[in-house]
Structure 1
Amino acid sequence: MARIGIINVSDRASAGVYEDIPGKAVVALLTEWLTSPWEPVYRVIPDEQDQLEAAMIDMADNGGCCLIVTTGGTGPALRDVTPEATEAVCQKMMPGFGELMRQESLKYVPTAILSRQTAGIRNQTLILNLPGKPKAIGQCLGIVFPAIPYCIDLINGPFLTTNEKVMPIFRPKS
């Protein structure tokens, strides 16, 4: 069974000031799209780089997660440190994910250029940073997800399958 880490990076949600809607949005999308068995490994943490790095390292190295999806902390605000944490824990950065997500977001809002979503690989784990708004999460995850199962194949992760009617993926023909 695949394990997928979901981290909502939010000072207010981690303090219980408001409900963790972004993380739940990721779970709902993955539940709709994936047909292969998977289990979420879930955390809500504040916008603290050291705590975010520790959570990503733990999920990747000890939790067996093939994919970690973060929500929030990708803007230009002083407390937005998710991309920095991702870069600190990854051996390889995958800039195409962020480029495509920003391109898609620009169809909806001109402020998409302020977003700093990125992705990288830590050992056998793909780490993907998403924005914090549920609508933007769906738009961004939806545009990059077709490449995610193949990326996970390439780093020797589990074989993920999807409901092709709602989320077609791409794998080259061998």
Structure 2
Amino acid sequence: MTLSGFSQMEEGVFLKPEDDEEECFLRVVRCSPASCEVEVLRSGFLTLSQKLLPLRPLSVGILTISDKGSRGERIDTAGPALEELVLDIGGIVRQRGIVPDERDMIAGTIKQWIDEDDCHLVLTTGGTGLATRDVTPEALLSVASRVVPGIGEAMRALTWQNAPRAILTRGLAVTRGESLIVSFPGSERGARECFGAVAPVLRHAVEILRNWEKDCGSHTHHHSHA
């Protein structure tokens, strides 16, 4: 699909209609001064004069924390689910890993992904319960610059009515430098539900941390050609 009427845009930038959370979602494949070739990530409707909002790609790391998963005794489905879901907020997974429930290994991996690989957003899954081996919150706090309490509170508030035991989970969000780290439950269902509860604010949080707000809000009109 080709969109004309564009100023030059960088390859990899995501495009979505302004004030439209559910419909069309595009990504720039290549661009010339007059038009852009785009990949349709989620289909929808665009009008000829509709404004599109460009979104910088988020560099994402997804870390599964599981003793059994790290030994190959359990198939991880929560991590791949998060990898699928981050696309909707313009995330590209750059790092992916599985580690056991060891505080130092969790913290070391996260520090490497942020300090050396410059991941903008790190999502973890697993280790947020009350069992003795559940140490993910402690690992996140050990590498944190600041705590963002509202994200964990929202995950519990929006999921406990369907799953009352959700109030026992200790998922939380912290920052490290200019990056955001969020911990999700280890089950695929729990990870999906909690991600859905906070997805609308994750990109905005990273944009604030990275001071991207001013250069991410430009708009462009387009004309489309199949």
With the shorter chain as reference, the TM-score category is: 0.7 to 0.9
Gap regions ≥5 residues in structure 1: 162-174
Equivalent of residue 6 in structure 1, options 26, 48, 62: 62
Instruction: Tell me, yes or no, if the aligned pair for 1:4 and 1:65 is still in contact at 8 Å.
Output: yes
2:117 maps to 1:53: no
Match of 1:120 among 174, 183, 193: 174
Report 1:88-103 matches (<5 A).
88-103=142-157
Aligned equivalent of 2:17: none
Aligned residues: 158
Asked whether 1:152 is paired with 2:206, we answer: yes
Structure 1 residue 9 displacement after superposition? 0.3
Please state whether the residue corresponding to 2:101 is helix, strand or coil: coil
**1:29 and 2:85 correspond:** yes
Q: Does the 8 Å CA contact 1:67/1:126 hold for their aligned counterparts?
A: yes
Are the counterparts in 1 of residues 78 and 189 from structure 2 also a CA contact under 8 Å? no
- Determine the C-alpha separation between the residues in 2 that align with 1:90 and 1:108: 31
1:81 aligned residue = 135
Q: Distance in 1 between matches of 2:69 and 2:135?
A: 16
Equivalent of 2:186 in 108, 112, 132: 132
Q: Give the letter for the 1:15 counterpart.
A: R
Give CA-to-partner distance per residue, 1:45-92, whole Å, 9 cap, x none: 000000000001001101110000000000000000000000110110
Distance 1:39 1:119 in 2: 19
Match of 1:19, SS? coil
Secondary structure, in 3 states, of the residue corresponding to 1:73? coil
Q: Is the 8 A contact 1:92 1:122 kept in 2?
A: yes
Query: Secondary structure of the equivalent of 2:158?
Result: helix
- TM-score, normalised to structure 1, is 0.86
Partner of 1:167: none
Q: How far apart, CA to CA, are the structure 1 residues paired with 2:58 and 2:207?
A: 12
Alpha-carbon RMSD: 1.6
More helix by share: 1
Matched with 1:16 is 72
Unaligned runs of 5+ in 2: 1-56, 217-226
Are the aligned partners of 1:74 and 1:130 in contact in 2 as well (CA < 8 Å)? yes
Which of the two has greater strand per residue? Answer: 2
**What is the TM-score of this pair, normalised by structure 2?**
0.67
* Alpha-carbon contact 2:62-2:93 (below 8 Å) kept: no
* 3-state SS in 2 of match to 1:117: coil
Q: 1:84 to 1:65 in 2, by over 3 A?
A: same
Partner amino acid, structure 2, of 1:58? Q
State the percentage of identical aligned residues: 34
